[in-house]
Amino acid sequence: MIIQAEHLEQTYISGGRPLTVLRDINLAVESQGFVAVVGPSGSGKTTLLGLLAGLDRPTRGTVRIDGQDLGPLSEDERARIRAEKIGFVFQTFQLIPTLTALENVLVPVELHPDPTFGRRERADQRARELLARVGLAQRTHHYPAQLSGGEQQRVALARAFANEPRILFVDEPTGNLDTDTGRAVIDLLVTLNTEERTTLVLVTHDQELARRAHRVIHLSGGAIVSDTGSRSA
Ligand code: ADP
Ligand code: MG
The closest-lying atom of ligand 1 relative to the alpha carbon of residue 49 is 6
Q: What is the mean pLDDT of residues 44-68?
A: 97
Distance from the Cα of residue 223 to its chain's centroid: 20
Pocket probe mutation, ligand 1, options 9, 13, 21, max atoms within 8 Å of Cβ? 21
Q: What is the mean pLDDT of residues 29-52?
A: 96
Sheet containing 68-69: order of strands:
17-29, 3-14, 60-65, 68-69
Angle subtended at Cα 190 by Cα 185 and Cα 177, rounded to the nearest 5 degrees: 15
- 22 C-alpha to center of ligand 1: Å? 9
- 46 C-alpha to center of ligand 2: Å? 4
- 172 C-alpha to center of ligand 2: Å? 8
User: 138 in ligand 1 pocket by Cβ < 6 Å?
Assistant: no
Beta carbons within 8 Å of 130's beta carbon, 6+ residues apart: 105, 158, 161, 162
The closest-lying atom of ligand 1 relative to the alpha carbon of residue 39 is 3
User: 47 in ligand 1 pocket by Cβ < 6 Å?
Assistant: yes
* pLDDT tens-digit map of 204-230: 988 889 999 999 999 999 999 999 985
> What is the torsion angle, in degrees rounded to the nearest 10, for the CA atoms of residue 51, residue 68, residue 34 and residue 180?
60
Residue nearest to atom 5 of ligand 1 (CA): 44
Buried-exposed string 178-187: b where 16+ CB fall within 10 A, e elsewhere = eeebbebbbe
* pLDDT tens-digit map of 19-33: 999 999 999 999 999
User: 179 in ligand 1 pocket by Cβ < 6 Å?
Assistant: no
Q: Which pLDDT value is given to residue 11?
A: 97
Q: What is the mean pLDDT of residues 71-87?
A: 94
Separation CA 3–CA 145 (nearest Å): 35
β-bridge mates for residue 202, sequence order: 36, 170
Residue 76 backbone phi and psi in degrees, to 5: -65, -40
Beta carbons within 8 Å of 178's beta carbon, 6+ residues apart: 150
- 129 C-alpha to center of ligand 1: Å? 35
Cβ-based neighbour number of residue 202 at 10 Å:
24
Residue nearest to atom 13 of ligand 1 (CA): 42
Q: What is the mean pLDDT of residues 94-99?
A: 96
* pLDDT tens-digit map of 165-199: 999 999 988 887 888 888 888 888 999 999 989 99
With H, G, I as helix, E, B as strand and everything else as coil, classify residue 181. Answer: helix
Q: Which pLDDT value is given to residue 232?
A: 43
Q: Does the pLDDT of residue 233 top 50, yes or no?
A: no
Find out if CATH 3.40.50.300 is the number for domain 29-59+73-229: yes
Cβ-based neighbour number of residue 195 at 10 Å:
8
Separation CA 221–CA 34 (nearest Å): 23
